[in-house]
Amino acid sequence: MENRVRVVIAEDSVLLREGLTRLLTDLGHDVVAGVGDAEALLKTVADLGAEQALPDVVVADVRMPPTHTDEGVRAAVRLRKEYPGIGVLVLSQYVEEQYATELLAGSSRGVGYLLKDRVAEVREFVDAVVRVARGGTALDPEVVAQLLGRSRKQDVLTGLTPREREVLGLMAEGRTNSAIARQLVVSDGAVEKHVSNIFQKLGLSPSDGDHRRVLAVLTYLNS
């Protein structure tokens, strides 16, 4: 498979971990390891690195043993720093603003934050895993709505029209221009114009390359 990816899953619920493994393998992907805590996740990735067999993406729960607070996201942030070539997709029961912001504060490549309910939408979830593995971004719509809706971000948002804000939200979900056009029932050209206006208003020049889409969202999160 052209889109086949290698995955490590870190989830303390055996049922969910096995379910994710089955879901991904049934669709042709390789789950090279499944672990139940953050320490095991870090060790597994280090061992795979020593074997020159790093995964393309790690799927990790935000809350993991022993305290079930932030072990998972802490491990995810550490992996993003130590292995920038690995995509990291974290799953959370709720939108946890602090953790989402921390995860997104580093490199703009290969990052995702989804609510666990999104796993039930199998095709969308697997597409998100592949997208993050390939260096893209996948942010849950609820995460986007909460992070971009913070009152302290309103001074930044005032520079965008309502339609541009809507387009930016869809961009942050990882959608292509064509997908945004279909969602909004407008032409591809109209979306391209909105995206260009967003980049201009955020001061993102063409020299920022292909990552301007992600940088547009990160500008809001980090401003």
Give the predicted TM-score (pTM) of the model. 0.70
The pLDDT value recorded for residue 94 is 77
- Check whether 218 has a pLDDT greater than 70: no
Return the higher-pLDDT residue of 200 and 217. 200
pLDDT in tens, 28-78: 999 999 999 999 999 999 999 999 999 999 999 998 888 888 898 889 989
- What mean pLDDT comes out for the span 183-208? 86
Q: Which residues contact 17 (CB under 8 A, 6 or more apart)?
A: 9, 11, 34, 36
What CATH topology corresponds to 160-222?
Answer: Arc Repressor Mutant, subunit A (1.10.10)
- Tell me, what's the pLDDT at 214? 67
Q: Is the peptide bond before 66 cis (omega within 30 degrees of 0)?
A: yes
**The dihedral sign for the CA sequence 169, 164, 149, 78:** positive
Which CATH architecture best describes the domain 6-149? 3-Layer(aba) Sandwich (3.40)
- Of the pLDDT bands very low, low, confident and very high (cuts 50, 70, 90), residue 151 is very low
Specify whether the CB–CB gap between 1 and 63 falls below 8 A.
no
Among 76, 36, 85, 27, which residue's Cα sits nearest to residue 56? 85
Task: Quote the DSSP letter at residue 5.
Answer: -
Widest CA span in the chain: 51
Asked whether the domain spanning 160-222 has the same topology as the one spanning 6-149, the reply is no
pLDDT digits (tens, 9 = 90+) for 77-94: 899 889 989 999 999 887
In this prediction, residue 93 carries a pLDDT of: 85
Convert the pLDDT of each residue in 93-133 to its tens digit: 877 777 777 777 655 578 888 888 878 888 889 999 999 99
**Average predicted confidence (pLDDT) for the chain:** 84
Cα first-last separation, the chain = 40
**What are the structural domain ranges in the chain?**
6-149, 160-222
